[in-house]
Amino acid sequence: MERLNLTNLATLPERWRPLVDPREVSIGVVHLGIGAFHRAHQALYTEKAMAEAGEAGWGICGVTQRSEAVGEALVPQDCLYSVVESSPAGTELHVAGAVREVLFARRQAAELTERIAAPATSVVTLTVTEKGYRYNPVTGELDVGDPEVGADVAGRPPETVLGQLVGGIEARMRAGGPPLTVVCCDNLPSNGPTLRRLVLGYCRLLPGARARAVEDWVEANVTFPATVVDRIVPASTDADRARAAELLGLLDQAAVVTEPFSQWVVEDRFAGPRPAWERAGAELVGDVAPYEEMKLRLLNGSHSALAYLGALAGHDLIAHTVTAPGFTAYVRALMDQDMTPTLSPPAGFDLEAYKTALLGRFANPVLRHRTTQVAMDGTQKLPYRLLAPIAARLAEGAEPRHACLAVAGWMRYVSVRESEKGAPLPLEDPLAERLRALTSGASTAASVVEALLGMREVFPEPLAEDARFRKLLVEDLDALSRKGAGAVVASWPAA
Ligand code: CS2
């Protein structure tokens, strides 16, 4: 089968083709972390924005961090790829045309610096996952002791995202370049202000006068709008690529499969020109805060609960988990009783409809979203998804039982190697070694809880020392190990 590319694009039905002519598009955006999520989210908004505004200057230079696979998939296809939107209601296909270049950061460090410094680049966007920021998820501060950060500061071609970003910003400053907007599109609380703090923290580590000069330039010339991103995009599988090939009649090694839903709320705080994202359906607002906790706690908090408890119970997919006995009632109770009281949604927002829609999105049988994928990097995700709302409820004298069960699920997930059905449970987490060391000698529920609550970069001290929290965790972890997650959730007093 022939590979999708600019030449055979013309053989596809017009309704599938990019909304802009990729040959006419020039680079205006640098994106760090070009995974499936970016390709099915910001890249589509940017393409539509160009089409609606009649602008061709917002093509994307996508940067891959750790593996060359994305470049190997995209470059031979002239950076074209298809997005398959799928649900029981039907399937839509679109060949996306905004990505125009792919760089592999490790080998093309100089090109990346040049791209960020280029006057034609006005916007840098990022999806590098929580751990890519090398910060402490409890304090939100840069981990200044991180050896990779230290090595970048010392002057090697940068391998951390912060090193790459600040390297490009410094080159832009030296070239007398125009202001820049840096748009964090990861699930982090206050993602824009957080990234700004990390960038400034990194600048301060630079040697000599460079520290002050770059810091001052960032303060005066770079803005960091906060954003809330939402679209469920599982890691692509061979089955997804086969599906795309079947539809296209062409091979597409970079295809992504996603759900119909998509949302992007962006704080309107730009230092210079930007794509007309609002014309592509993004919401440009003065303050993203009302959207943020709602999304991070209801969607991502529930997602993590389903991931740990579902994986333990032996379910490979989120969709299988949420439809297993008791799980829908449990997640609904988690959202209603433990999360909702901590939220201040936008005025007039229909929270009930939002929660019901979320349960439908989780149950989408077409998305093969693995529980073990969502379970990854728990130490980076738990603090904002589950622990912050738990602390808020405890402070109000409430007992957030459903959220505590999810945390106990994580504790069990990181301390056993297999699901209740004997499937391997991979422990992928930047703190995996510590998790293993802390839990390997712990044989009772109380000792596992005790060991893990000692991780200060996950559990803030007041929460770790809360006796009610500890008691619930020990009870839940004990029940999970005696009865199994499937049975605990099936008989969970959720209603
Ligand atoms: C998921 C998110 O993998 C995860 O941790 O919870 O990637 C989730 O699918 C997105 O945030 C949905 O917008």
Is residue 67 included in any domain, yes or no? yes
Residues 310 and 352 grouped into a single domain: yes
Which ligand 1 atom is at minimum distance from the Cα of 303?
Answer: 6
Phi then psi for residue 27, to 5 deg, are -75, 130
* pLDDT per residue as tens digits for the range 40-64: 999 999 999 999 999 999 999 999 9
Strands 90-96 and 81-87: antiparallel
Question: In this structure, are residues 299 and 401 in contact, taking their beta carbons and an 8 Å threshold?
Answer: no
For residue range 216-226, list pLDDT tens digits in order: 999 999 999 99
Q: pTM for the complete prediction?
A: 0.97
495 belongs to a structural domain? no
d(CA 81, CA 339): 38
Q: How many domains, in total, are found in the chain?
A: 2
94 and 196 assigned to the same domain? yes
Pair 49, 273: CB distance under 8 Å: no
232 C-beta closer than 6 A to ligand 1: yes
Q: Indicate whether 16 and 37 sit together in one domain.
A: yes
- Nearest ligand 1 atom to the CA of 229 is 13
The strands making up 59-64's β-sheet, listed across from edge to edge, are 99-104, 59-64, 27-32, 123-126, 180-184, 222-223
Q: What is the C-alpha separation between 457 and 35, in angstroms, rounded?
A: 27
Residue 1 lies in a domain: no
H or E segment and range at residue 30? strand 27-32
Q: Are 35 and 126 in contact (CB under 8 A)?
A: no
Ligand 1 geometric centre to CA of 165 (Å): 24
Same-domain pairing of 411 and 445: yes
> What is the average pLDDT across 137-141?
93
The DSSP bridge pattern shows strands 123-126 and 99-104 to be unpaired
Distance between Cα 306 and ligand 1 center (Å): 12
**Residue 293 CA to ligand 1 centre (angstroms):** 14
Q: What are phi and psi of 31, to 5 degrees?
A: -115, 120
Q: Are 353 and 463 contained in the same domain?
A: yes
Name beta bridge partners: 93: 84
Verify that 409 and 293 share a domain, yes or no: yes
Query: Once rounded to an integer, what is the mean pLDDT over residues 414-422?
Result: 95
Q: Map tokens 């000069």 to a residue.
A: 213
For residues 275 and 366, membership in a common domain is answered with no
In the predicted model, is pLDDT for residue 16 greater than 80? yes
Neighbours of 268 (CB within 10 A): 13
> 278 with 304, same domain?
no
How are beta strands 227-230 and 263-267 bridged, if at all? antiparallel
CA of residue 300 to ligand 1 center, whole Å: 6
Q: Could you tell which of 300, 354, 410 is best to mutate to test the pocket of ligand 1, judged by most ligand atoms within 8 Å of the CB?
A: 300
Q: Is 131 in the pocket of ligand 1 (CB under 6 A)?
A: no
pLDDT at 495 over 80: no
- For the segment 469-474, the average pLDDT, to the nearest whole number, is 98
SS3 86: strand
In whole angstroms, give the CA distance from residue 83 to residue 85. Answer: 6
Same domain as 303, residue 278: no
Q: Is 231 in the pocket of ligand 1 (CB under 6 A)?
A: yes
In a domain, 36, yes or no: yes
CA separation for the pair 17, 98 (Å, rounded): 12
Which residue out of 232, 298, 368 has the highest number of ligand 1 atoms within 8 Å of its CB and is therefore the one to mutate? 232
Structure tokens at 433: 């070694």
Q: Ligand 1 centre and the CA of 60: distance in Å?
A: 23
Residue 417 has φ and ψ, to the nearest 5°, of: -105, -15
CA of 177 to the centre of ligand 1 (A): 35
Q: For residue 228, report the phi and psi dihedrals to the nearest 5 degrees.
A: -125, 120
Share of the chain above pLDDT 90, in %: 98
Task: Using the predicted structure, report yes or no on whether residue 119 has a pLDDT greater than 70.
Answer: yes
| 26 and 100 assigned to the same domain | yes
Query: Is residue 365 situated within a structural domain?
Result: yes
Torsion of CA 158, 163, 164, 166, to 10 degrees: -140
Rounded to the nearest angstrom, the distance between the alpha carbon of 377 and the centre of ligand 1 is 12
CA atoms within 13 A on the CB side of 147: 0
Strands (E), 276-365: 283-285
Structural domain contains residue 4:
no
367/335 same-domain check: yes
Give the model's confidence band at 66: pLDDT under 50 very low, under 70 low, under 90 confident, else very high: confident
Q: Write the residue with the smallest CA distance to atom 8 of ligand 1.
A: 232
pLDDT confidence bin for 295, thresholds 50/70/90: very high
2 inside domain: no
Nearest to residue 79, comparing CAs of 14, 9, 127?
9
Residue 250 and residue 301 in one domain? no
Separation CA 1–CA 427 (nearest Å): 37
Q: What is the mean pLDDT of residues 458-481?
A: 98
Domain around 114: 9-285
Give the ligand 1 atom nearest the CA of 369. Answer: 9
CB of 300 shorter than 6 A to ligand 1: yes
The CATH number assigned to the domain holding 22 equals 3.40.50.720
3 within a domain of the structure (yes/no): no
Residue where one domain finishes, among candidates 285, 310, 336? 285
Question: What value does the mean pLDDT of the chain take?
Answer: 97
Which pLDDT band, with edges at 50, 70 and 90, does 67 fall under? confident
Pocket test for ligand 1, best of 191, 295, 303 (most atoms within 8 A of CB): 303
Domain boundary among 250, 285, 320: 285
CATH number at residue 363: 1.10.1040.10
User: How many angstroms separate the Cα of 51 from the Cα of each of 4, 24, 47, 98, 262?
Assistant: 22, 12, 6, 10, 18
Of 260, 285, 310, the domain-final residue: 285
